[in-house]
Amino acid sequence: MDMNDVKTRGLVLLGCGKMGSAMLAGWLRGGLPPEAVWVIDPKPSDWLQAQGVNLNAGLPPSPAILLVAVKPQMMDDALGAAEIDARTLVVSVAAGTLLARFEATFGADTPVVRAMPNTPAAVGRGITALIGNAAANDDHLALAEALLSAVGQTVRLESESQMDAVTAVSGSGPAYVFHLIETLAAAGEAEGLSPELAMQLARATVGGAGQLAEDADETPGQLRINVTSPNGTTQAALEVLMDAESGFPALLRRAVHAAAERSRELGRG
């Protein structure tokens, strides 16, 4: 199975919210014909209606791909609308929904890939972790990677149990960074900056530092050292932020653990 097979047999997208729309936009930019895509979404956006895809129409009986992008509470209704067989690859980006859930619906011989993308997918800068069930071979995983690379990087996991940690680090992680921007701007206001200037400085600083961390050969630790002059302003701040009990290390460890535990709870239903 490859992208030519997808063009011939079709791709069904269940749910086209922000993540589904980001993926669909990436596929269409990459050359997937709109007529090869079927989308089921109860409240299609104006953007979606203008894409020329098969929208809320009768589905092909055995599509190459069934991509599930609905919220977990809508899963039963969404899956009930799909007609697939063992030739269809099921790809799920639904948080907290285990591989076993899809095997119970479609059978253990159906190849299933579970994926966890994150919101920077909206600007093509996401990262998606993938894990397949026993029926998913390397070709299936490669096809899922090809689809999800339309919105950023992909990585393969060794076991499904790692998905909870991935959810806590990269899935929920953008929210931590957004909150950092909020609080950095608020701290700037407290030191006398206008709200507008503080926010502009915070946004550009976090965005630029993230790009530098991704592009540079040095590790983030070395980049931190590079901008920390002995007894300077950065060192004064880092002594607060790197405090073993009240700084970032302990705080983020607790935050990521809380998110991972919640992911495990959702997976248990």
All structural domains of the chain: 3-163 (3.40.50.720), 173-267 (1.10.3730.10)
Determine the Cα–Cα distance for residues 144 and 23; give it in Å rounded to an integer. 12
Instruction: Identify whether the C-beta of residue 163 lies closer than 8 Å to the C-beta of residue 95.
Output: no
pLDDT 10s digits, 111-167: 999 999 999 998 999 999 999 999 999 999 999 999 999 999 999 999 999 999 999
Determine the Cα–Cα distance for residues 240 and 250; give it in Å rounded to an integer. 12
pLDDT 10s digits, 79-118: 777 778 888 999 999 888 899 999 998 999 999 999 999 9
Determine the Cα–Cα distance for residues 163 and 244; give it in Å rounded to an integer. 28
Closest alpha carbon to 114 in 62, 154, 160, 162: 160
State the binding site: 14-19, 69-72
State the binding site for NADP(+): 14-19, 69-72
Instruction: Identify whether the C-beta of residue 202 lies closer than 8 Å to the C-beta of residue 188.
Output: yes
Determine the Cα–Cα distance for residues 49 and 55; give it in Å rounded to an integer. 7
pLDDT above 90: percentage of residues in the chain: 78
Q: What's the distance, CA 100 to chain centroid?
A: 20
